[in-house]
Amino acid sequence: MDIADGAGRRLSGAVSAVAPNELTVTCSELSDEPRPGVRLVLVQALAKGDRDELAAETATELGIDAIVPWQAERSIVRWKAERAAKAHAKWQSVVTAAAKQARRAWIPEVRSAVDGAGLQAAVAAADLAVILHEDAVRPLRQVLETWQAGLASKDSVAEDSAGSGIPVPSAAAKYCSSWVPRAASARGR
C-alpha cells in the first residue's frame, strides 16, 4: 500500500489488520520526496460547465504543480465574492482528489484567480511561458527541447513560431508554440 500526505511524505507498507472503520498498515518504508526542480504551472481560463475542472483534474494527474484560474476578458463565467471562495474550494477539492488518484506525493496548489493584468505579471516573472494555441505549427515537445537547449533566454525576444516574423516581447511570452498578437489576429492573419 502507498500512502502520501500531499506535502511530500510517502509511506509504503502492507495492511496488517482490518476492523470496522479502521485499517492498520505496517510501514515498510517512509520517504520524503522533494518538490520537483522544474515546477509546472497551468493557467486555466474559467469555462462554462465543468470543462475547467476537468482540465485541472487531468493536468493534476499528468503532474502539474500549481493551477492559476484565469478570469479572461471573454469568459462568461465570473468568480465574484462568495462564488469565488466556493469555486476555489471546489477546484482545490478536484485537484486533491486527482492527486490522490494519481498517488502523487505533492498536492498541487490552486492559486487565487487572476485577470489579464495578473496573468501578464505571472508570465513576465516565469522562466518559461508556453502558450498553447490551435494554430501552432511547432509541437510542444519541440518548443520545450529548444528552450532546454538554451536557445531561448529570459531577456530575449523570440520570433513567432507560426512563421509570421512578428517579434514576441519577452514580457508577454518567453517562448511560444504559437503567438498571435491581437492586431495580427484582428487582420485575419
Mean per-residue pLDDT, 126-149: 78
- Judged by DSSP in three states, 89 sits in helix
Residue 14: per-residue pLDDT: 92
Flag whether pLDDT at 13 surpasses 70: yes
Give the best-scoring range by mean pLDDT among 33-42, 125-134, 147-156.
33-42
Residue with cell 486527482: 98
Alpha-carbon distances of 46 from 35, 68, 136, rounded to whole Å: 27, 10, 22
d(CA 124, CA 82): 30
Q: What is the DSSP track for 17-42?
A: EEETTEEEEEEEEEEEPPPPSS--EE
Centre a 10 Å sphere on the Cβ of residue 5 and count the other Cβ atoms it contains.
12
Tell how strand 167-168 and strand 158-159 pair up: antiparallel
Flag whether pLDDT at 157 surpasses 70: no
How would residue 60 be classed by pLDDT, with cut points 50, 70 and 90? very high
d(CA 91, CA 109): 10
Mean per-residue pLDDT, 50-55: 88
* More confident of the two residues 146 and 52: 52
Residue 135: per-residue pLDDT: 78
Sorted by where each starts, the structural domains of the chain and their CATH numbers stand as 2-32 (no CATH), 41-118 (3.40.1280.10), 126-186 (no CATH)
Mean per-residue pLDDT, 134-140: 79
Could you tell me how far CA 15 lies from the centroid of its own chain? 34
Residue 156: per-residue pLDDT: 44
Q: What is the DSSP track for 98-127?
A: HHHHTT-SBPPEEPPPB-HHHHHHHHHHSS
How would residue 94 be classed by pLDDT, with cut points 50, 70 and 90? very high
Alpha-carbon distances of 57 from 24, 36, 181, rounded to whole Å: 30, 19, 30
